């Protein structure tokens, strides 16, 4: 056990802390390798970067909200099914497919001559441009994130004690009151875990913004990719990365479980 703990500790330091330390370190240097605080000054003084931050948070919020609205009823319905393991497998299966392949599949579906527009043409409707739009980006991002919201909510609902629901009904509560006062509050841990699993990655989407959004959707992830791979301004790219890491920690703190004080 001590040997295993040793490897886990140093593995976490090497694979988690070391990259974060490198990103923070790069953020204090300019393109010439000189120590500077100008990267942070530029970021917080630039309307472009602040607007990009706002867009990232807004898109992540909308994606998380849409995913939650779809996932909670789905997870609740799954708990009532007989062959739930089979349905869960079907929900998990898309996560085994590379995101790039899924993005290209949606390019074919959303294009002017794709499946959706052909279906609309069959009913006499004019084709619409779905690809390279905010709506198309939101649909694809929500689809990709659905399993990561459904699974923790399903787990939270599965762990509910059925006797609590029965007791609520025996005390005269109707179905809506039972859900609002018993089921939903007791499944909040799963909801919070799902929000973390969806909101945090959604802040840094960059592949989908290019392939599905057509660069019309600009996020922090897009800016980081641009600075590291195109402009070669690693200091500014690292600065945006630090801001993104801080935002992720804030989300984790907000959605984290609060420890109850006092003694039993």
What distance in Å separates the CA atoms of residue 228 and residue 241, rounded to the nearest whole number?
11
Average pLDDT over residues 97-124: 88
Contact 208, 141 (CB under 8 A): yes
Contact 247, 237 (CB under 8 A): no
What distance in Å separates the CA atoms of residue 155 and residue 110, rounded to the nearest whole number?
33
Contact 154, 190 (CB under 8 A): yes
User: Does the predicted model carry a pTM greater than 0.85?
Assistant: yes
pLDDT of residue 261: 46
pLDDT of residue 264: 39
Q: Which domains does the chain have, with CATH numbers?
A: 21-27+36-255 (1.10.3720.10)
Contact 56, 65 (CB under 8 A): no
Band (70; pLDDT cuts 50, 70, 90): very high
CA dihedral 166→168→170→172, nearest 10 degrees, is -150
pLDDT in tens, 32-59: 889 999 999 999 998 889 998 998 999 9
């Amino acid at each position: 056990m001590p040997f295993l703990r040793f490897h886990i500790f140093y593995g976490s330091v090497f694979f988690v802390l070391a990259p974060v330390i490198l990103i923070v370190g790069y953020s204090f240097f300019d393109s010439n390798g000189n120590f500077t605080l100008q990267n942070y000054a530029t970021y917080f003084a630039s309307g472009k970067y602040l607007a990009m931050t706002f867009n990232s948070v807004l898109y992540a919020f909308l994606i998380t909200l849409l995913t939650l609205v779809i996932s909670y009823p789905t997870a609740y319905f799954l708990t009532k099914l007989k062959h739930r393991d089979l349905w869960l497998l079907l929900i998990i299966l898309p996560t085994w497919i590379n995101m790039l392949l899924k993005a290209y599949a949606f390019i074919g579906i959303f294009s002017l001559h794709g499946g959706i527009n052909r279906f609309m043409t069959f009913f006499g409707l004019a084709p619409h441009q779905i690809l390279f739009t905010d709506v198309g980006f939101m649909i694809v991002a929500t689809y990709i994130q659905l399993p990561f919201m459904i699974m923790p909510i399903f787990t939270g609902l599965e762990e509910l004690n059925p006797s609590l629901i029965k007791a609520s009904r025996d005390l005269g509560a109707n179905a809506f009151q039972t859900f609002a006062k018993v089921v939903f509050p007791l499944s909040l841990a799963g909801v919070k875990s799902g929000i973390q699993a969806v909101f945090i990655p959604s802040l840094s989407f960059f592949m989908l913004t290019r392939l599905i959004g057509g660069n019309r959707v600009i996020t922090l992830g897009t800016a980081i990719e641009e600075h590291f791979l195109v402009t070669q301004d690693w200091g500014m790219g690292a600065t945006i990365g630090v801001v993104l890491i801080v935002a992720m920690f804030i989300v984790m703190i907000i959605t984290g479980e609060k420890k109850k004080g006092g003694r039993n």
